[in-house]
Structures are given as C-alpha cells and as structure tokens.
Amino acid sequence: MTAADLRLPLRRIPDFRKLWVSNALGDVGAAFASLALSVTAVVALHAGAFEVAVITALGNGAYLFLGVPAGVWADRIPAKRLLVTADLARFFAIGSVPVAYLAHTLTVPHLMVAAAVTSAANVVFEVAHTTALPPVVGRDRVAHASAALQGADSTVNVVGPGIAGWLIALTSGPIAFIVTAVMHLGSSISAALISTPRTQVQASAHPPFWSSLRTGVTFVFRTPLQRTFVLAAATINFGAGFIAASYALFALRTLRLSAGEYGVILAIGAVGGILASLVAMRVRRAIGEIRTQLICYALIPVAFAPAPLAQHLPVPPAVSMTVAEFLLNLIIVVAAISSAGVYPRITPAALFGRATAARRTITMGVLPLGTLLGGVLGGSIGYAPTLWVGTGVIACSVLVLATSPIIGWRDLPTDLNLPD
C-alpha cells in the first residue's frame, strides 16, 4: 500500500479489490458447499438423519479445534499465504466430489471427509482475511474496510445457498460442486495477486503460542459488549444446529418437496438477503447500530416459525418455507451489517486476529454440537419437533441480551472506541 492509496476510496485500492474478490468468491464457494453437501447426501445417497447431521457437524466442526489456534497463526504467518493455502485445500476437497459422483464411487464417508477438510480450510481463510486488512487499507480504515467485507460476507452467506439452490434445481447436487471448486480456485488466484507486503515482526516479539491463544479468549470474555454478543450468537447458532440437522430432511421427506423445489425456495428466500444489503445501513442509522442488532436477534425465532408450521397453515407448504427463508435472511443480514465495524473499534490491532478467532470459535463451535443433538432428536421425535426445539433454543438468546447492560444502548458509546 502506497501513501497515495491511503487517500483513495477503498474500492479504488487495487489490493483491497483483490482481497474483496477473493473473500467474496471464497464465501460463495463455502455457501454452495454447505447446501450441496446435505442435498447430495439426502437425494443422491439416501442418507439418514444422523448421517446428514454428522456431515453438517463436520462442515462446521473445525471451529472447535482450529478456531483459536488459527487466530494465533494469522497473527504470525502472512495472511496471503494462509488465504491461498486454504483456498487450494477447499478446491481439491470439493473437486473430488463430482469426480467420485461421475465415477459412481461417491459415498457418505467421502462427503464426511470433504466436509471436514473444507471446514478446516474455512476457519483458516475467515480468520486470515481479517488480518490482511491493516496492511492493505491502513489501520485507520480497518473499521470501514471490515464493514465492506462483512456486508459482502453476510449477503453472500445468505444469497449463496439460494444460488446453489438454482443450480441444484437445474442440474444436481454433485454437479453443483464443480462450480464450488471453480469459485475456490478463483479465490486463490485473486489472493495470490495481492502485492501489499506484510509488516515483518521478529519471532522474539511473539509471546509463546499457548499464551497467545489464551490472550484472545480472555480479551473477548473480559469485554462486556463482546461477551454479550458472543453468548447471544452462540445461543442462536446452537439452536441453528438443531435446525440444520433436520431442515433439509423436513423439506424433502416430510413435506415431499423435490430437490428443485427446495432450491427454488432458498433462491427466492435469498432475495431477502439482497434487500437487506440495500437497506441495512439506513436501518442502522435510523435505529442505532446496537439497537438494530438487539431487535433483529429477538425477531429471528419469529421469522423462522412459518417453516415448522408449514404443514398446518392454510397455504401450500412451499409458500410457508419461502416466507420463513425470506424473513430470516432479511433479518440476519441486517443484523450482521449493523454490527460490521464495531469489533475493530473495540479491539486492539495486535489482538485482532486472536480476538476474531476466539469469537468465531465460540459462536461457530457450538453449531456442530447442536447439529449432532439435532440429528439424534430428528431420528427419534421427528423432524418438525426438532425444528421447534431449535427455535426455542434460539429464543433463549433474548434472555442473554435482556440481562445485559447493553439492552438500553442505541449506539456504541464513544468512550469504548479505541484510538487508531
């Protein structure tokens, strides 16, 4: 990054554009894989509830083991190297699925291995792209750049499965993996073209690995705002795990929707995420960045309710599922964009990678636990009741927020902003 780049809008900084493209392509690929894994298991391999739950859990399980260590690595290893390595790992893992499918050798264990490898690479990639920002845009613009990346992340994470749904409707789950692999290859190429050198830090300046690991976790839990939102998000994701274990099975088997219909529902629902990306900043300014998140968290279980009620409402089940998807995507993206830029303002630059990894380890690490429990419940009490259990768990996040001092906040208090 040159001195002239500091005066340019973010979109005109060449290396930021490359980082943004790499991030967007990588997220699209990850979102495609998340949906295609479960649909392929159900439709192509006729997997049971527990097998689908295991695949889904492995697809998120790496956060439990690699989340915090990845933050330490990101503070020590050049982000560009981590980004390229993670993308190539995802390319080969995902690319192996359509090859095995076309060779008629695809199995459920193969999908499990692909999910596990992809999950590990996702963790490294997500943490690395946050540590790539300071040298690319300058410390004083990390918050703005984080908001730009987070906005793209949030929209892609919601819209990606919808686009994958269209692909599945037009082709098949395994074939959709070809597009996913190409996305990851493109992401690795874009990351490899980043030219901004990382500021070198002497190895002696780094504290011991385990000490660094503890520092990130301790910082998050000692910061009231971060602790509150991390616990609330973890509660939501734990409930989401129950839902993830049974959602595709509920749609494809209980409601007897076809894979194509299921894909169309996700695609139409994704429009809610696109709409949210257009109005989120206006909502944030009108209501406040903290208050917007509080309201959105409270509305998530309400928005999802039409899905498990699909069999009982006086409209076709596909309509109920679509409404739930649309509202859920709208709310989640508004909340995520509203929170973008808050964490960089309350986290020291030297701790940014470790704190980010600690938050993601906690919030995403509970997802596979909920998924495994949801898989057991889905096979015993049924898919619809399991969806209600997940919805109830998500509703408990309101209690976390209601007992926190931030419940009355509109925006982040100015005294909590750290100097650049």
Query: What's the rounded Cα separation, in Å, for the pair 306 and 323?
Result: 7
Cβ burial 168-178 (10 Å sphere, 16+ → b, else e): bbeebbbbbbb
> Got the DSSP string for 405-420?
GGGG-SS--GGGPPP-
Indicate the length of the chain as a whole number: 420
Query: What's the rounded Cα separation, in Å, for the pair 156 and 274?
Result: 9
For residue 143, the one-letter residue type is A
Q: What angle do CA 407, 355, 217 make, to 5 degrees?
A: 85
Task: Outline where DSSP puts E strands in 146-258.
Answer: none
Q: What per-residue confidence (pLDDT) applies to 140?
A: 62
DSSP state of 203: G
Q: Give the domain CATH number at 36.
A: 1.20.1250.20
Asked if residue 229 lies in contact with residue 411, where contact means CB atoms within 8 angstroms, the answer is no
For residue 307, the one-letter residue type is A
Which of 99, 112, 108, 122 is CA-nearest to residue 175? 99
Query: What's the rounded Cα separation, in Å, for the pair 88 and 43?
Result: 28
Burial of 415 (0-12, 13-18, 19+ CB in 10 A): exposed
Structural domains in the chain (count):
1
Asked if residue 376 lies in contact with residue 57, where contact means CB atoms within 8 angstroms, the answer is no
Query: What's the rounded Cα separation, in Å, for the pair 358 and 204?
Result: 23
CA distances (Å), origin 3, targets 14, 136, 138? 13, 11, 10
In the structure encoding, which two tokens stand for residue 323, read together? 């409404």
> Is the sign of the CA dihedral 346, 287, 154, 11 positive or negative?
negative
Query: What's the rounded Cα separation, in Å, for the pair 61 and 53?
Result: 11
pTM of the model: 0.73
For 263-288, the pLDDT digits (tens) are: 778 878 878 877 887 788 888 889 98
Q: What is the pLDDT along the chain (420 residues), one digit of tens a residue?
A: 454 455 567 777 888 889 889 988 988 888 778 778 877 888 778 887 788 888 888 887 787 778 777 777 777 788 888 999 999 999 999 999 989 988 989 999 999 999 999 999 998 998 888 778 777 877 667 656 766 776 676 667 666 666 766 676 666 656 678 888 999 999 999 999 988 655 444 444 556 666 666 777 788 888 888 888 899 999 999 999 999 888 988 998 899 988 778 877 887 887 887 788 778 888 888 998 889 989 999 999 999 999 999 999 999 999 999 999 999 989 988 888 787 667 777 877 777 777 877 888 888 888 888 988 998 898 889 999 999 999 999 999 989 888 888 888 888 887 776 665
Domain, as residue range, for 174 = 3-198+207-416
In the structure encoding, which two tokens stand for residue 79, read together? 């982000």
Enumerate residues 6+ apart whose C-beta is below 8 A from 111. Answer: 37, 40, 41, 45, 55, 97
